[in-house]
Amino acid sequence: MNKSLKIFLVVTATVFCIGALGIWYAASGINPAQLTQLLSSSVKEATGRDLKIAGPVSLKLFPTLAITAEQVSLSNASWADKADMLMVKHLELDIELLPLLKKEIAFNAINLSGVDAHLQTNKSGDGNWDFTSPVSSGAGASNAAEFTSKSSSTDQVDPVRIRNLNITDANVSYQGFGSDRTFIAIPKLSIIGRSAKTEILAQAKYANYQLEMKGKTGNLHDVLDGWNTTSVKMPLDLNLTVNGKVLAIDGEIDKEPKTLPTFNLHLSSKSFELSPLAGSAALAASGGKQATTSKPYKALSKFLFSEDALPFDLLPEATGKLAINIDQLSFPGHVPMTAVKGNFVFDGSNFHVNDLSFGLGKGSAQVQASVSQFQGTNPALSIKGIAKGFTLEQLMDAVDSSTKVKGGDTEVAFNIRSSGVSMHQLASRANGAVQVSVGKGSIDSRFIDGGGDLMITVVDAINPLRKKTDQTILECAVFYLPMNNGQVVLNDSIGVVTDRLDIVLSGSVDLKTEVLNVKIDPREKSGLTTGVNLAGLVKLQGTLLNPKAGVNKEGVVNSAVSIGLGILTGGATILAENAKSLATKSQPCKAALHSWSDIYPGAN
């Protein structure tokens, strides 16, 4: 080693040691009370919230900036019902020094233990974890608008980067406005960055569910570091376990600068239960915003189909494909779906469900769906599908196991197109058709009572004595409902045959106003000897929400003529009219049934 190099190394080592000693001296000379005050004022300036540190606090400046604190709390939003949003028994922060020189924050590690977090939303759907200052009026609003304009014209602020995160003994509560509080316990959350990958282990308990997420991804620290500046590819290989049932999640997320990320993910499982994930998925997608603003006083709706906005805003605006392949997908209290396969495609503000198929009992179903411009004011929806090979009994067991239904081979097909933001708008603009066919079976009174006011009104009008029997023997039933811009025209397209009655419904339903104008034409099986059936004089009026049985004036006139002629002819006219009716409407189900392929192309 030459002399010049030796001198250089000695000088460098000396400078390094002096710098280290200086940093040590500076760190040891910092008053903990001053450090606490500095941290509190910095958090107050950044978030508008009060940071309190009741326990000891310490600082280390070399080789990284390390802060340790005990009994830390962060105050809540002014409208929240608890004083503190976050409380931590022990906190350790390990901050990289070099990024600070570039006015960036990067954590080597964050360690938290004994965490209590209270999350909630207010009437406007704002979350207490939103630290942006509320805008009042006047100059404040003007300044906020100017800030928003400037912010939107610049690049998105880089996210805070964390290489390692460890949380133990955490409890999180969440309460949406007007809803009960939900509690989640998190015994352990570990995110460890290792060279080109990040290892994840998360354990949680929610209600009666034990959840665990375990696996690896691309290095999250590096991904966030280059999120808006370079091309990023992040592989995923995770296992989500719910009460011992495992869902494998694998695939890749790609991100190019200044564009939406694209993804290609696969979900697969032998057996999985979906319920515990539904609420958390909706919350994550909404970013804490409620789909609709809750109202303290809400007038009763005059429509059966709700005018409340559907949560289209929960659909993420993204680009990519999610493929699922689950042998058995279950929901508590219901018959599980089997062989669930399909592709969910995201294309900006358009969402498609392609080739979704599943089994239910011994039957199977196929569904295609699409929602276009779901972020706009008038989303377009199309959905078509067919289900066959199952019974009404199996379907009711899946929906309500207390209803006693036996048999009833069932087939369903639908093909509907519409637009709107609520169920009422979608119904009032609907085009297409729905057809349901049910074969021989038996139905108890609870099935009818559970069908709502519309079904009860129809059945009571046809057979006022039906409450005297607990069971109805069904021979067949067909419901064909064609829709043209919200108008449903029933041309003898609802037919029902029981052990006692042949029933045909005709008329119209206006889904814009939900007004009913339906004639009910029942005929007793012994109609050749019974005479004129007065139930044929009934007309279904009112609305879908408030149906009423009225008088069919046309039927009254026709029946009066028949009765008058019957008196003059000694009953021969009555017999002739009934014979004609039985001849023309002796097969209500066959008359109502349309070709399945007309509704769902390719069906047989």
Tokens 């100017």, residue?
A: 146
Mean pLDDT across the stretch 70-84?
93
Confidence of residue 522 (pLDDT cuts 50, 70, 90): confident
Cα separation of 201 and 212, whole Å?
7
Query: Would you say residue 484 has pLDDT above 80?
Result: yes
Q: Describe the crossing of helices 553-569 and 572-584 by its angle, rounded to 10 degrees.
A: 130
Q: Pick left, alpha or beta for residue 453 (phi over 0 → left; psi -120 to 50 → alpha; otherwise beta).
A: alpha
How many other CB atoms sit within 10 Å of the CB of residue 435?
Answer: 24
Predicted model pTM: 0.73
Q: In this predicted structure, what is the pLDDT of residue 576?
A: 47
> By the 8 A CB rule, do 236 and 212 touch?
no
Cα separation of 273 and 586, whole Å?
47
Q: In this predicted structure, what is the pLDDT of residue 165?
A: 93
Cis preceding linkage at 588, omega within 30:
no
Query: Would you say residue 26 has pLDDT above 50?
Result: no
Backbone angles phi, psi at 422, to 5 degrees: -135, 165
How many other CB atoms sit within 10 Å of the CB of residue 372?
Answer: 17
Q: In this predicted structure, what is the pLDDT of residue 404?
A: 72
Q: In this predicted structure, what is the pLDDT of residue 398?
A: 63
Query: Would you say residue 562 has pLDDT above 70?
Result: no
Cα separation of 5 and 419, whole Å?
78
Query: Would you say residue 134 has pLDDT above 90?
Result: no
